[in-house]
């Protein structure tokens, strides 16, 4: 069967190359912009949040644009071709792009978090530099830090998946308090061992009183293997019982 070659093929080639250039260009710019932002962000905590919130979605959207650009480019140098082969070519290209996309998506979802986790841990515990003295500050332990956290922060730390890190400049007493949210942070799943276990819900079953500890249930869910778990935690008694207050005054 002899097919008549497509009439519009030259116009097609031209615009496909233009569009491919735009997609590939935007993909590269997106990654470049991310890297630039990372190297120019001096504050470790700001960099931590930026990586945690943006890195995977940036890489994923850049990958999608790159795949679209590459698909266009693979079909932008066509010579005499009939409609039938044009469609076949596109179908094949899209199948390949789709498979590559699925592979990349899995990499970002399940392997990349290990790498991110390693970098985040380094950033979180890298000694902060005091703006007063230019010297490294000291990270306080859980027990030491309570003095520096107000009641609201302490309660939050007790109840919700929130961690406060307190850095102190011992010479001048300057402090820097950083908040880390457990909801944004993936844990290692005990079932599949991927870094994909997150807290999805927290529920206080018994409110703490001045006399008694409360109880809290945290619900975990793994986005890889769908493993779910719940764990019960004690909530610290409310501080400064009315009785104590009375005797103190
Ligand atoms: Zn799992």
- At 190-211, the pLDDT tens digits run 998 888 888 888 888 888 888 8
Distance 106 CA to ligand 1 centre (A): 14
**Assigned domain for 220 exists:** yes
Q: Which domain holds residue 14?
A: 9-125
**Assigned domain for 229 exists:** yes
Pairing of strands 138-139, 162-168: antiparallel
**Assigned domain for 1 exists:** no
- Kindly state whether residues 17 and 105 are assigned to the same domain: yes
Express each pLDDT in 156-178 by its tens digit: 777 677 788 999 998 898 999 99
- Kindly state whether residues 235 and 223 are assigned to the same domain: yes
Distance 192 CA to ligand 1 centre (A): 4
Distance 226 CA to ligand 1 centre (A): 6
Distance 55 CA to ligand 1 centre (A): 22
- Kindly state whether residues 28 and 97 are assigned to the same domain: yes
| Strand (E) or helix (H) holding 216 | strand 214-222
Question: Among 144, 166, 181, which residue terminates a domain?
Answer: 181
Pairing of strands 162-168, 175-181: antiparallel
Pick from 176, 195, 181, 192: nearest CA to 132:
176
Helix ranges (H only) for 41-140 are 44-74, 83-106, 112-125
Express each pLDDT in 51-104 by its tens digit: 998 999 999 999 999 999 999 999 999 888 888 999 999 999 999 999 999 999
Distance 197 CA to ligand 1 centre (A): 6
Distance 219 CA to ligand 1 centre (A): 14
Provide the number of structural domains found in the chain. Answer: 3
- Kindly state whether residues 59 and 98 are assigned to the same domain: yes
- Kindly state whether residues 90 and 152 are assigned to the same domain: no
Residue 218, beta-bridge partner list: 202, 231
- Kindly state whether residues 14 and 99 are assigned to the same domain: yes
- Kindly state whether residues 23 and 114 are assigned to the same domain: yes
Distance 187 CA to ligand 1 centre (A): 10
Distance 53 CA to ligand 1 centre (A): 21
Distance 195 CA to ligand 1 centre (A): 8
**Assigned domain for 64 exists:** yes
C-alpha to C-alpha distance for 36 and 208, rounded to whole angstroms: 47
The reported pLDDT for the residue numbered 249 is 37
Per-residue pLDDT at 144 exceeds 90: no
- Kindly state whether residues 116 and 40 are assigned to the same domain: yes
Helix or strand or coil: residue 225?
A: coil
- Kindly state whether residues 109 and 177 are assigned to the same domain: no
Helix or strand or coil: residue 47?
A: helix
pTM of the entire structure?
0.77
- Kindly state whether residues 118 and 192 are assigned to the same domain: no
Distance 222 CA to ligand 1 centre (A): 5
C-alpha to C-alpha distance for 26 and 30, rounded to whole angstroms: 6
C-alpha to C-alpha distance for 71 and 238, rounded to whole angstroms: 61
C-alpha to C-alpha distance for 98 and 13, rounded to whole angstroms: 22
Q: Which two tokens stand for residue 151?
A: 């009641």
C-alpha to C-alpha distance for 134 and 172, rounded to whole angstroms: 11
135 φ/ψ angles, rounded to the nearest 5 degrees: -105, 160
The reported pLDDT for the residue numbered 246 is 46
Question: Among 125, 152, 171, which residue terminates a domain?
Answer: 125
Distance 223 CA to ligand 1 centre (A): 7
- Kindly state whether residues 192 and 244 are assigned to the same domain: yes
**Assigned domain for 141 exists:** yes
DSSP state letter for 61: H
**Assigned domain for 190 exists:** yes
**Assigned domain for 133 exists:** yes
- Kindly state whether residues 114 and 35 are assigned to the same domain: yes
**Assigned domain for 98 exists:** yes
């Amino acid at each position: 069967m002899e097919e008549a070659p497509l009439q519009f093929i030259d116009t097609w080639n031209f615009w496909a190359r233009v569009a491919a250039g735009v997609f590939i260009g935007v993909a590269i710019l997106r990654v470049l912009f991310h890297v630039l932002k990372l190297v120019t962000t001096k504050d470790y905590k700001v960099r931590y949040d930026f990586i945690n919130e943006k890195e995977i979605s940036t890489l994923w959207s850049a990958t999608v644009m790159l795949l679209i650009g590459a698909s266009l480019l693979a079909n932008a140098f066509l010579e005499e071709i009939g409609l039938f082969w044009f469609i076949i070519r596109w179908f094949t290209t899209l199948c390949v792009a789709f498979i590559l996309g699925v592979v990349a998506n899995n990499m970002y979802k399940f392997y990349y978090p290990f790498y991110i986790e390693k970098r985040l841990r380094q950033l979180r515990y890298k000694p902060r530099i005091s703006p007063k003295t230019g010297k490294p500050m000291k990270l306080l332990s859980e027990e030491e830090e309570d003095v520096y956290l107000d009641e609201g922060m302490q309660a939050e730390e007790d109840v919700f998946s929130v961690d406060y890190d307190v850095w102190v400049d011992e010479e001048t007493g300057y402090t820097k308090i950083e908040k880390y949210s457990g909801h944004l942070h993936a844990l290692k799943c005990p079932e599949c061992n991927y870094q994909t276990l997150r807290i999805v819900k927290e529920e206080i079953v018994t409110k703490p009183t001045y006399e008694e500890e409360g109880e809290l249930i945290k619900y975990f869910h793994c986005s890889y293997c769908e493993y779910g778990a719940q764990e019960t935690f004690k909530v610290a008694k409310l501080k400064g019982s009315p009785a104590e207050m009375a005797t103190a005054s």
